[in-house]
A and B are shown apart, each in its own frame.
Chain A
Amino acid sequence: MKALICVKRVIDYNVKIRVKTDKSGVETENVKMSMNPFDEIAVEEAVRMKEKGEIQEIVILSIGTDKSQETIRSGLAMGGDRGILVKTDNEQLEPLTVGKIIKAIYDNEKPDLVILGKQAIDDDCNQTGQIVATLLDVPQATFASELKKNNDNSYNVTREVDGGLETIKLNTPCVITTDLRLNEPRYASLPNIMKAKQKKIDILEIRSLNIDIKNRLEILEINEPPERKPGIKVEDVDSLVEKLKNEANVL
């Protein structure tokens, strides 16, 4: 069995982002970039599957500029076997386009599992996994918090849904998107980081895939969110209750 893991390079989740003054986007110059946290969880899950002997090969795929090679390398350092970069200058490809590219790679690689993050923390779209599953016409399990392989190579996946936990059974090949509690990603050790430098990354030009990459959504403006007006500190419980009752009128 083989797993294809999709990883996106995004602004690190600890960075406080700044909106550009011309409203065209957010500042990315000299900003720390990292692998999307949900994708780290996806890589970790695949590495654990490999350690258990459930899968034999982990391919790490990223679609982005040359710099996304770093993101692939961190996946390889965690335990991925090889990488694929689909190279593009457009840093803001839409999920539908990304989905079509992932499908093209899938058709070549024929993995049994495709694992993605449930959401990229930059565009907050929460779509790509669902798009890939639909394009491939294979079953999907989004928001996975537990995976269990059955004897017949199917997977039971527990999903974090509003109101509780749902478990579904999927035949392979299938698409899974990760939620936060699936696992805790490891830190790559120094020797593994060194080893990862030797691992192979295939680089494909996006043009070679013959996919229409024109965006369907026009971004008119990116704005700062409205600010909350500054609040106050209250002295004690009495004054808190008093304020909530008589000033805010919410009790």
Chain B
Amino acid sequence: MKILVVIEHDNKMVKQSSYSTITAASLINDNVEAIVMGDNLSSISEELKKSDHLKKIYVVDNNLFKNPLAENLSKTLKIFIEDKNFTHILSPSTTFGKNMSPKLATLLDVQQISDVTKIINDNTFERPIYAGNAIAKVKSNDSIKIITVRSTCFEPCGLDSDTEVENLNIDVDENNSVQFVSYDQSKSDRPELTSAKIIISGGRGMQNGDNFKLLEGIADKLGAAMGASRAAVDAGFVPNDWQVGQTGKIVAPDLYIAVGISGATQHIAGIKDSKYIACINKDEEAPIFNFSDYGLVGDLFELLPKLEEKL
């Protein structure tokens, strides 16, 4: 058995999701290798070398990968694995992995297993369906297993090793029918939602974007990431990539604080694996209370300033 992990990064830093994916891989078998495709990768190589569990790292440094177009990535992977006998290929189930991995699976005529939350053995896995309201245990009969991994379900690997790195040249024809135009990065000095220890999220109850300042003060004090419900994002209160839930980000912090969020199934799907959930809502019947370890009934505009003061 031989496992390959496809590393996600932004050409400067390795994403946390990659380290969790390495852990997931190591639970299948200890023969794990990694590939990183990108542009100007020297700092990435240095960082990634330290990851535990890896037997070898392949680096494909090419300005074709300055922006992660799925067409180029999947074709390169297909060429790379040709004579290498990998039995499993894992990517994080982030927008990066979701975009690229099913293409690789298709090139190999394999049915991908999306969003794996648990490894049972080398061919059997668990994955949530219906917004996490059911858990499917599936067995793959494909000769190569292509998997995306829900990173919040696996601890990031340790960083105490010094793995061998091999630089590779792989010739792929640039795809001319698609071009990168621009990337508008949402700026934030806060921790990433998917790896934060504490998250405070606001919903429609916040009423407008300005009122999110009430959450900011608390997030500052706690070193927390900030998130939102779909309703808050749709209403334009906060950026799109703050959305937590079935179709947004799946999070699993030690503490999730939901403020002015009713607790729709689609939102709960994204927060269920949090260690503790606390909520503030003025409607004591709101479903969010059924999922909260600590619920506080009341008006958020009154309670948030008090909470900030107490911390």
Residues of A within 8 A of B (CB): 11, 13, 16-17, 19, 26, 38, 94-96, 99, 118-119, 121-127, 130-131, 133-135, 138-143, 145, 156, 159-171, 174, 179-181, 215-225, 228, 230-234, 236-238, 240-241, 243-244, 248, 250-251
Contact assessment for B74 and A160 in the assembled complex, using a CB-CB cutoff below 8 Å: no
Report A174 CB to chain B, min CB distance, Å.
8
- Chain A to chain B: the 10 pairs with minimum beta-carbon distance, closest first: A139-B178, A216-B111, A130-B102, A134-B106, A231-B293, A127-B102, A250-B255, A164-B185, A167-B181, A171-B177
CB < 8 Å neighbour of A121 from B94, B130, B291: B130
> Does B159 lie at the interface of the complex (its beta carbon under 8 Å from any beta carbon of A)?
no
CA distance A126 to B293 in the complex (A): 31
CA distance A163 to B142 in the complex (A): 33
Report A72 CB to chain B, min CB distance, Å.
23
Main secondary structure of the interface of A (DSSP, over half): mixed
Main secondary structure of the interface of B (DSSP, over half): mixed
CA distance A232 to B310 in the complex (A): 20
On chain B, the residues within 8 Å of A163 by CB distance are: 10, 185-186, 241
Contact assessment for B303 and A127 in the assembled complex, using a CB-CB cutoff below 8 Å: no
Residues A96 and B138 in contact in the complex (CB < 8 Å), given A166-B182, A180-B234: no
CA distance A17 to B182 in the complex (A): 41
Contact assessment for A11 and B130 in the assembled complex, using a CB-CB cutoff below 8 Å: yes
Report A214 CB to chain B, min CB distance, Å.
9
Contact assessment for B296 and A250 in the assembled complex, using a CB-CB cutoff below 8 Å: no
On chain B, the residues within 8 Å of A133 by CB distance are: 103
Contact assessment for B240 and A233 in the assembled complex, using a CB-CB cutoff below 8 Å: no
Contact assessment for B240 and A165 in the assembled complex, using a CB-CB cutoff below 8 Å: yes
Count residues of chain B with CB under 8 A from any CB of chain A: 91
Contact assessment for B103 and A224 in the assembled complex, using a CB-CB cutoff below 8 Å: no
Segment at the A interface, from B55-63, B164-172, B207-215, B274-282: B274-282
On chain B, the residues within 8 Å of A215 by CB distance are: 111
On chain A, the residues within 8 Å of B177 by CB distance are: 138-139, 170-171, 174
- Chain A residue nearest to B298 (CB atoms) is A236
CA distance A149 to B23 in the complex (A): 43
What are 7 of the A-B contact pairs (CB < 8 Å)? A16-B133, A124-B246, A131-B105, A163-B10, A181-B234, A216-B110, A225-B134
> Does B47 lie at the interface of the complex (its beta carbon under 8 Å from any beta carbon of A)?
no
On chain B, the residues within 8 Å of A241 by CB distance are: 307, 310-311
Report A3 CB to chain B, min CB distance, Å.
18
Contact assessment for B137 and A220 in the assembled complex, using a CB-CB cutoff below 8 Å: yes
Report B216 CB to chain A, min CB distance, Å.
17
